[in-house]
Amino acid sequence: MDKFDPSRRDSMRKMIIAGGACVALSQVNLWNQPQKVLTAPKVDDKEIKAAGEELALTTPEQDVFAVIKKNLMRSKNVTDEQIGDFSRRIVAASPEGTDFKQVFSGLQNEFHLMEHFIRYIHT
């Protein structure tokens, strides 16, 4: 390991993530019931928006809230109040006028947001 090239760290990290995803998918029994295994939970955007409005979130805060809530549809351990508090902190720490729908439109950015949210919950 004396000749480790730090410039390749990002590409190596992506390869590890992709490899882990392939291993996880290989453990799922796709071939017998592919639709049942791969269907995502039904997401009701009106329900998510209503939950954000109950917490009195601003529009940018609701955008962040919606991204997190869609990724946590089956979680029973995380409350809407925790998601709302995290959304408020993200918006407060961001430059004014940030378009969060655009920022979190990519899957990789959603992963980063969820990674930070998980760290926030566990602290």
Q: Where are the domains of the chain?
A: 6-38, 45-121
Q: What is the pLDDT of residue 40?
A: 57
Cα-Cα-Cα-Cα dihedral sign, residues 65, 101, 18, 42: positive
Burial class (CB in 10 A: 0-12, 13-18, 19+), 123: exposed
The pLDDT score that the predictor gives to residue 88 is 92
Report mean pLDDT in 10-residue bins for the chain, 123 residues. 67 72 58 55 79 88 88 78 91 88 83 87 81
pLDDT at 21: 64
pLDDT of residue 87: 92
How far apart are the C-alpha atoms of 119 and 117, rounded to whole Å?
5
Distances (CA, A) of 92 to 28, 82, 100, 107: 40, 15, 12, 23
